[in-house]
Every structure is written in C-alpha cells, then in structure tokens.
Amino acid sequence: MGYSTYFSCLIKPFAMIPLQQLFIETAEKYMLNNSLVEKLWAEIEQKYSTKKRYYHTLVHLENLNKHLRGVKSDIEDWDTIVFTLFYHDIVYNTLKSDNEEKSALLAEKRLVEINLPADKIARCIRQILATKTHLVSSENDTNLFTDADLSILGQPPEAYKNYCKQIRKEYAIYPDIIYNPGRKKVLAHFLQMERIFKTAAFYNQFETQARVNIVYEMNMLNA
C-alpha cells in the first residue's frame, strides 16, 4: 500500500501453496535456470524480512496469496498476479515517496531475466503502480489485486488494531506531530472513495467493516 507517498510530501487455508514454492514454480514456467530462480527468491525473502518491516512482510504476502486464491477463478492472468504479489512492495522505504515506482522498476528487471513475455511484464508494472492510489482500473485483475492489498482494512477490530500498531512501527522515525496528519490523510483518501473495494467479492466481504475500522483509527489519531 502506498502510505509512504503521503508521508514524504493468519491462518493459511489448507490448499495454499507456500510462498517459496509458488514463486519458484511460477518462475520456472519461463526460465529453467534453477540457480537464477532460487537467487531471485532469496532476494524476495531478504527484502520482505528486513528489521524495519512490521507489516509489509512475508506474512502480508501470505495473506495476499490467501485472498487472491479465493478469487482465482475471476483472475485472467494468474501468473502475472503472482509476480505482482511478490514484487509490489519489494522496495519499501518510509523516507521515500517513490516505493511503487522503484518496486516496478526492480520487477521489470527481474522479470526480463526470467524471460516473462513483455505484455505480462507491462501488466505487472501497471498493477504495482496501481497500489500507489488504489483507484479503479479498467483491468479487472488490477482491481482484484488492489482489493486484496487493502483487505487488511476490513479485518475484525483486533486484527485491524494490530495492523495499526505495525504500520506505526514502520514509521517510528516520525513523531506523532508528523505521523498523525500524514496517516489521517491516507485514511481520508479511502473514506472519500465511493467504494474502497472495486470488485464485488471484496466489497461484499470487507467494505462495511473497513469503513468502521478507518473511522475508529481516525478517532484514535485525533484523541
């Protein structure tokens, strides 16, 4: 999710494939160089496991995987969605406002290395960049991905409170006097949307609770 833009201006289902297996099996459809694929996975694992990450971690990717598998029958290009999942937050620096752009650039570089077709790479880049604003896209796959990315907003209250704490830890460098207005700007962006979730599957499941959660957090930030 594109929070840094504003500051700079668990349960696994029984059928869910482990992240490493998912990435390797998908990448090896296009590149049979096992050592390269393993190297790319190691990079992903390292990036999402750095000490300054509390929410944008491998657990976030696992949750995305869970929610996306729930709507897999609605996804036109599953392989591209998989690569978007792994690369959408691979660059994450709370001091910068261009994380999505840098993540897209790194994704492009890596996906060229594994010989992913150009049209799929372009689609992946569009999906990654869409997480900067989470606005409606003309491509349903993109809407499904950004909805899955926002699914944390519609979780039960305790899970949402834990998410708020994790985000605050990621932005610990900022004092409340800077963090709170920036965070409220992010939350207001979602509340002002006619629909936070663009697709029926996610809207029906998460929209109402997401708005309740966001109002709760804004009230806490105003306290």
Query: Contact at 8 Å (CB) between 121 and 84?
Result: no
Q: Residue 103 and residue 109: Cα distance in Å, rounded?
A: 10
Domain containing residue 70:
1-223
Tell me, what's the pLDDT at 223? 84
Tell me, what's the pLDDT at 12? 40
Tally of domains in the chain = 1
CA-nearest of 132, 136, 128, 130 to 196 is 136
CATH number at residue 13: 1.10.3210
Tell me, what's the pLDDT at 2? 54
Tokens 């833009």 sit on residue: 5
Q: Residue 69 and residue 112: Cα distance in Å, rounded?
A: 25
State the pTM of this model: 0.92
Residues in the chain with pLDDT < 70? 1-16
Tell me, what's the pLDDT at 17? 78
What's the Cα-to-Cα distance from 32 to each of 27, 42, 106, 117, 194, rounded to whole Å?
Answer: 8, 17, 21, 15, 45
